[in-house]
Amino acid sequence: MSSPGERDTSEWYRSFGEAEARGQSAIYEEWALGVADDAEVLSLIDGLPLQKRQPNLVFACARLLGAAEGGYPELRRWLVHNFAALATETLRRSTQTNEARRCASLLPALSMLAGPLALLEIGASAGLCLYPDRYSYSYDGSEPIDPADGRSAVLLESTTTGPVPVPSVLPQVVWRSGIDLRPLDVRDAHDVKWLETLVWPEQAERRERLRSAIGIVRSDPPRLAEGDAIDLLAGVAQNAPPGATLVVITSAVLVYLPFAERMRLVESILRLDANWISLESDRGLPAVRAQLPVDGGSDSRFVLALDQRPLAYTGANGQSLDWL
């Protein structure tokens, strides 16, 4: 069992299976619910540091090391026999899912800002979300909004409700940079394999979109700084060109930080002369959560906010946008 004050691992996996994996990955749903009811496997996972017990991280590391994408009994046998190797892998990894379609959620908020834009993403992974101007977009099946040089190899589609301020042209981005504890390089085959493994087993469309986005970014990789954003943020921000609107982006990163560290990062962001677009779980930012409708969110949806003002609920992977 988890230690007092820590998140209960069984409930964590059950919630992941029922609220996040269900309808998205039958394999991950079965795995998560299997772990939730398995005392022996739970005791192994509870031996990991809290932030390394995340279902998505554990399952991705298992697949990276060779666990077959089958039923839970097969996974259980693999975990019991290979847990030492899995534990070592989780310590050197983090959930660095880099879903380009999240740009479909970011775009309306970016369109509300005066350009040209300088983008700085915290928890950037390989930096795929730093290229909103290089992808094409279609909302509710509309005619695509394309980059200035024509149709992109990546078309990001999203459904909407409410008065979403969809732009007619894409923003001008003149500078892009990111910070990550372990940045991933789209030119490195091992890093690309990890990015692909983070895509859930049955999600072939996401995997193809990832590969296409990597192809775009590989031709013009972003500047990615390695280290703690609290320490590096101010210095990296100083490199943004004068005359551009600096925009800090956080996407599905804050909830993974312990609360005290998260609030220190928030303070660091607020000290900058910058706008802040966040795309986070409603648990991520107390100031945002306090402004949301009661019982309006869920574990499977994020909240899009501009300068801590909530704008919309969004699908975790940019597939939907419900304007508030």
pLDDT in tens, 51-71: 899 999 999 999 999 999 999
Mean pLDDT over the full length of the chain: 94
The reply to whether 106 and 56 lie within a common domain is no
Q: Clarify whether residues 66 and 120 are in a common domain.
A: no
Last residue of a domain, one of 75, 92, 109: 92
Determine how β-strand 155-161 pairs with β-strand 320-323.
Answer: parallel
Task: Say which DSSP state 17 is in.
Answer: I
Q: Give the confidence band of 300 by pLDDT, cuts at 50, 70, 90.
A: low
Residue 210 belongs to a domain? yes
129 and 220 in a single domain? The answer is yes
- What sign does the CA torsion over 6, 228, 302, 41 have? negative
Residue 88 has pLDDT above 50, yes or no: yes
Q: Are residues 28 and 166 in the same domain?
A: no
- Residue 109 shares a structural domain with residue 86: no
Task: Write down the pLDDT at residue 293.
Answer: 85
> Which residue among 58, 92, 126 closes a domain?
92
User: Where does the pLDDT of residue 299 fall: very low under 50, low under 70, confident under 90, or very high at 90 and above?
Assistant: low
The domain boundary residue, chosen from 69, 92, 115: 92
- pLDDT higher for 296 or 165? 165
Domain span at residue 39 reads 9-92
The predicted model scores a pTM of 0.89
Question: Is pLDDT of 295 > 90?
Answer: no
- The answer to whether residues 126 and 215 belong to one domain is yes
Q: Give the CATH number, domain containing residue 260.
A: 3.40.50
pLDDT at res. 189: 96
Domains identified in the chain, total number: 2
| Pair 175, 273 in one domain | yes
Q: Looking at residues 285-294, what average pLDDT do you find?
A: 90
Q: What pLDDT, on the 0 to 100 scale, is given for residue 296?
A: 55
Residue 3 lies in a domain: no
Task: Compute the average pLDDT of residues 204-228.
Answer: 96
Same domain membership, residue 14 and residue 132: no
Residue 149 lies in a domain: yes
pLDDT in tens, 5-60: 467 999 999 999 998 899 999 999 999 999 999 999 999 999 999 989 999 999 99
Residues 153 and 216: beta-carbon distance below 8 Å: yes
pLDDT at 29: 98
pLDDT number for residue 297: 53
Same domain, residue pair 163 and 310? yes
Which residues on neighbouring strands pair with residue 179, listed in sequence order?
122, 225
Q: Is 263 exposed, middle or buried (0-12, 13-18, 19+ CB in 10 A)?
A: middle
Mean pLDDT of 158-177: 96
Q: Considering only CA atoms, which of 200, 198, 195, 197 is closest in space to residue 215?
A: 195
pLDDT of residue 3: 43
Mean pLDDT of 119-136: 97
Are 71 and 128 found together in one domain?
Answer: no
> Is a pLDDT exceeding 90 seen at residue 268?
yes
- Strands, E, within 109-165: which ranges? 117-122, 136-139, 155-161
Q: Report the percentage of the chain scoring pLDDT > 70.
A: 96
Is 31 inside a domain boundary? yes
Give the residue among 276, 220, 223 at the shortest CA–CA distance from 253.
Answer: 276
